[in-house]
Structure 1
Amino acid sequence: MDPISDNDLSTRSHVVRQLIVVFTGLLMVVLIVGLGALYRIAGSLDQREMAQSRFHAESAMAQLQKNERSYVLTHAIWQSAFDHLGRGVDVQWAFDEDNVGPTLFTADGYVGVFVLDDDGSRYAMVDGQLSDASFAHYSPQADLILSQARQVAAKQQATSGYFQFGGQPALYTAAVIQPPSMPHHLPAPRAVLVFVRRLDTRLLEPLGRAAGLSGFAVADRMAADGAKGTLPLEGSGHTLTWHIERPGSELVSTVVPALTLAGVLIGLLMTLFARYAIRASTGMDRSHEQLAASKAALETSEERFRAVAEASSDWIWETDADLHLSYLSARFAELTGHKADAWLHRPITELLDCDTAQLENWLHGLAASHATGSLRCQYHDHLGQQRICRIAARASFDRGVCKGFRGTSSDITDEVAAHAQIQHLSLHDALTGLPNRNKLFRFLEQAGQGAVPQAIALILLDLDNFKPINDSLGHPAGDAVLIEVARRLGEITRDTDLVARLGGDEFIIVLSRPGQRVDMDRFCARVVESLQQPILAEGHSVQVGVSLGVALSAEYPGTPSDLIRYADIALYSAKSAGKHTWRYFSAQMNEALLEKRVLERELREGIGRDELVLHFQPRYKVDGTTVASVEALVRWQHPRQGLLRPDRFIALAEESDLIVQLGNWVIHDACAKAKAWPVAIMVSVNMSPAQFSRSDVVRDVAEALRQTGLPAHRLELEITENVMLNDVEGALQTMNALKELGVRLNMDDFGTGYSSLGYLRTYPFDSIKIDKRFVQSLGKSASDRSVVQAIINLGNAMGMTVTAEGVETAEQLALLSDDQCHEVQGFLLSKPVDNDALIRLMLTRQPSAEMPTD
């Protein structure tokens, strides 16, 4: 072999240097491209994680607001709330009876409960205690909340948002207080019920865990950590923050140091190799070794790049031009459970399927347009369960010819399920799972569409005796009852029907093709019978009833709101008829109800305007000349109809909860006037059974005695046996407490009840009153006189005063005198008179009487 000349060596060294420079440049390009791809992938992973976490955070807070709005509506769209809070605030009903009281703080966590109107706060409860501070003391946003709530009131919806409450971030929900249905001629309700829940750790931590996020907390907007996820809470000056996983950053922190070290080592090796090659390059063998080293370095770089791809949370796929899979990353096996080898060389269309487009046509469309796209597909994992994924793909070309496709696949099954859950909750009641008001209106609107609207029957149900279950056993027991009622209603309806819950204890059944009235009667009877069966709730067997109002679209067509209003009117009639029954809506029923509601409104306003007056009917000793006591009888000086007797408005007051307000007024006014009488005689006041059961009569009577100064022994309460029928044990405790105040108790209408004698032995009565039906038959019926004599003898034997009412003839008075009755009362002796006439009567019949000293 000829020796190599210096020129040859120089030329060869120059070639080697050029090759080294080119190879080094190519290697650097590969490393830079790899690092660029790595950072793009890492950034994409971080951005995707950030977007997903923000989506879950927004969904969690949106669901929280939706649940809060639904809950405040159950308290705002409520007839009793409208009666007690809509025009004036009844603190006893709201706070003392705990209808909108401490339980909302202790059990439900609301730090603030307010009733607002244009004049400010009418009712305020903060941290479970009544507060005199106005809403403006805690937040300046009262006007905004009022405006928002009234804008959505017509749709019977609530509003919500964030604000600062007492300097801390909080969530408010607000709704206009209104009845389930509001007559069009009445002014729109204005009072707004506001619930406030503080955004603290106890609320946010479980909410974050449910959304799959950690570190859920609230931070000042200016101090929010940029490394965390953030969601501004508009109106509160704060931001919701949470910890964000950063898989891309973790990937970079793991891979980049290794790549950097590898690059340094490769650089050192290349330097050493270059020097060695220049010194010893005498033939093509060294060139081959250098080429082999370059190839090995390139393969190493490609392997590292592939390792980066495998670390991604998605799985990567590639196909040839015929859509046969040529590559599947290791993540494919981890996410799907399938072995990658089992799917290689098989069409991707066998693995993935799309409901909305053919995968094959979609991929070829990408190739034709040289575009990148994404598509939602389904596949089945190794257990046969369907999973949902989003694939991103693009075509790969060689000299303008499509050689195949490559892309990624992201599993979005949980994301789709979460979205479906949100959609479900927007149309269903969270407690019972029944459709809510939104789905009900959609169903009714669909039934009314078409050339011939479908005939339906809308049945509004209201549970009887449900509130005592909540009060005595607690809300968990009440929830168990509602869930069981929903289940039973589902059993007795068809698939084509709809059962919905409006809120509280109100349900609606919509029957398609209801049939004739006789068919409806059978169905309503089946509903009543089913719901009257005992229900096991929290270990207790309880019983509820149901009243039904029925509206038939074939007889009275209208909008969904009209049909619900018709059914509500019919339900009101069913409750008035004695409950546990049903009534059909009719136009006459609507007119009667409107007339009754107008009279109810006028009575409510009349009590506040002092339109009530008391008349007094004296009770005489049996001699017929000496006034022994006086019975107070209420009258209503109606501005249009004149002086109305109790039979025109007492029953109405008992139905609408006005009886408590009216009864307290009667007791207070009777005591005040009796205190000023010239004769220190007793005043007798009738107690309604409804007043007895709905209020704390012991407290009310004690307050009236304290405010007026009337001695307790001068007040007598007349009680009918209906009080004992409703609650035997409770009535006994209440009457014993009244006796401890020092008042007297009179059993009214004695002899008309089947168990009056037993009541006399059990309850602490001081006197009894013989019903006027027996008295008016004296002298005509020997049997009725025998009854009167027996009652008088019974009273004497038990040490009770006996009063005969309804004495209208001298013969009746003489017979009662012969039978030694203690007191008499009736038109023969005196009709009811006003207070001034009563005072004149006292002075005339008892001229020697002195002014009382008590």
Structure 2
Amino acid sequence: MDRIVDLPAPRLQVRRLIGGFSLLFALAALVTLGALFNIAATLDRQERQRSTFHATQALEQRLLASRQFLSSYAVWDAAYQHLANEVDWHWAYDEKNVGESLYSASGFEGVFVVDDRHTRYALLRGEPTDLPAETFIDAPLAPIIAQARQVAVDREQVTHFVLFDGWPAVLSAAAVRPDMEVLKIDVGKAPVMLFVDQLTEAKLAHLGEGAGLADMRLEKNTTTHRATPRIVLGDTGYHLTWTTPLPGRQLLWAVLPPLLGALLVLGLVMLYLFRHALRSSRAIDQSLQRLRHSNQALEASEQRFRAVAEATSDWIWETDRHQRLTYLSQRFASVTGYRLEDWLGQPLNQLLACDTTPLASWLDAQAEADPQQMANLRCAYHDPNGQHRYCRMSARPILVDGKLAGFRGTASDITHEVAAHAHIQHLSLHDALTGLANRNKLTRHLEQALQRGSDAPPLTLLLLDLDNFKPINDALGHAIGDAVLQEVASRLREATREDDLVARLGGDEFALVVEAMDDRNEIDRLCTHLIALLRQPIVVNGQRLHVGASLGIAQTGPQVCDAGELVRCADIALYQAKADGKNTWRYFCAQMNQQIQYRRQLENDLRQALEQEAFVLHYQPRYRLQDLRIVSVEALLRWQHPQQGLLGPDTFIPLAEQSDLIVALGRWVLRQACRTARHWQAELLVSVNLSPAQCSRSDVVAEVREILLETDFPAQRLELEITENVMLADIEGALGTLLALKELGVHLNMDDFGTGYSSLGCLRSYPFDSIKIDKRFIAGLTNPNSNDQAVVQAIIDLGKAMGLTVTAEGVETEQQLRMLADKGCHEVQGYYLSRPLDQASFEALLREGDAGRLRSRP
């Protein structure tokens, strides 16, 4: 906004005076002209009212005369005698009792005697005619006859405006009766005499002359202007009008020209005087102090406007240079619960505090920053109820003459956002079922411990796998299995030290990280204690359940100094322990490298399988929860091993990721999925998983573009499922890759949402279209002792708030399906609806359509 400089005071006063005089002059001129026009309009209106009154009176007099004249003929014994029954033409016409004189002397163009069925007697312009009255009168006669008979007892007549030969006329009607008292029954069938007085130009001229009106005429209703006086002639479509004198207009033409001339002269004189006054006022020295204060006030108002316009926070604050609050917006009271007057004049750092940066120091640092840039800081405060709340505060300095005068900013309440982020952060590092650390936290813990170097205490990793757990879970259900896992987690926590880490890696696999325990005897005692502890019965719903445990142990040393290698070695040792009879433990040793040899053999087989294309794709449909329609299908890789049979991806994908085979394997999966799905229904989305290793070792964007062009598959039908691990290695590079993929037109889906420690940040920063809730949360939905329901609801609400489609995977029961529907989830996928199918079975499912699906599912 441009700075506005106030005019000096004397000049401003002169301009105000000039403006006042100009306004008064304009008002006086407007009032004078308004009064003149009002007088003219009043005179014209009064003249129109007067002429209308006289015209109405004249027309009423003519109607009255017509009725009275008709009465002298209709209420007549002789007329009743000769016309009531059989019409006596000789008496009526030849003897001129009701004859030609009615037209030549009285001006009635039509004379008729009618009854209910026909016209008995008819004269048209004084001449007899055999044509009925309806031929000339354009109006229904039945109601007119009825009205005439109705008023005949009282010797009355009726009058109507009708069209006679297409021209307006006055129709007078009276029942033919004797000149004596009669009853209504006597005239109930009496004939009716009609006199038609056509409103010709001569009659209208005579009528207007009698009323003192000029140019009286008839016009059709559509031709008259609204301001013209008129009298509507019934339903004839015509009205009576005349020319009205306009004395007001004559007055305007007489008075307006000299009045306008006088006002113009007076205005020119005032203009000369005003210019002279302004020229004199420019010579007056203006007050610099007043100008400075005006500019300061304007600048403060301008800065406040910018702060309000640019900030997206809830309440606005200002302080003086000592950081004491001088202004709080009304929103402050409704957000924080405090009253404004409780904090005005108080230091800002008594209200807000920051854990990482002292608020006063941070504000002082803003004084040296660019005043056009708004800085932000997350702060905390306690509301009047003592509840801990968070806000995002923005600040900028207030400068007056280049000196710091205070600070101004906004604050947005982000308590719910912080709580949600903390909850998701916790979920990303902890197992939702047991509350133990998850695989992510275990990896981070090992990496941080190994980074301490050789001086750090030795590290021992124990991988623990439950024995006999799968039969319990399969026979008694997931709810009992979850209760067993929770009890195992509790016993493991009780059996370890406070500094030791206990983690659940998934399923029935746990891990323990023990520091400063390099004596094998001490480790053996710990393993013995753990096995004995876990072999004790677990009581769930009155049932005594028994499980055991096998442990694999790996320790850091010269040959094992990497977190991944440490886990791999412990896994090999665990495999050996289970092979040696379970309920025991084994240390990793070099002899166990046979497992490594097996992995190498498997890698060689994998290379040959890739060359021979010994892979197949299975397809698992994804259903829209609203109507259980298939809206997408996930392509899942299977390896047809010559000795081991059909292998799932968990067997060989980790091995492919450790080698360079993942790039070629991923390219094959994408090409095969696009080539196959090209012939399916146009609205079906095809989902393909992208491995983090594949993204980091190849140009994924170029490969996707090339395959889309090669297979002629529409980009908008392709969805790429990506875990957050893709973003962790190279944040900037991953963002560029995802944006480039979006430019191709493909959909992006964050897979296994909620299991990583940066999922929320990824959603905010990366262009995802949808998220997929990890199946571990879905598995715990039906467990009343689990917080998975709250987690799933939070993820669904978060996805909706960010405009993302939310998919739940791993739906295995009808109860899970119904709970997801109640929570507003968009799409579902799992064994309850359909297992992964080969191409032929899936295409058969598509052909079967909704009918078969609805028959097989409640």
TM range (shorter): 0.3 to 0.5
TM-score, normalised to structure 1's length? 0.33
TM-score, normalised to structure 2's length? 0.33
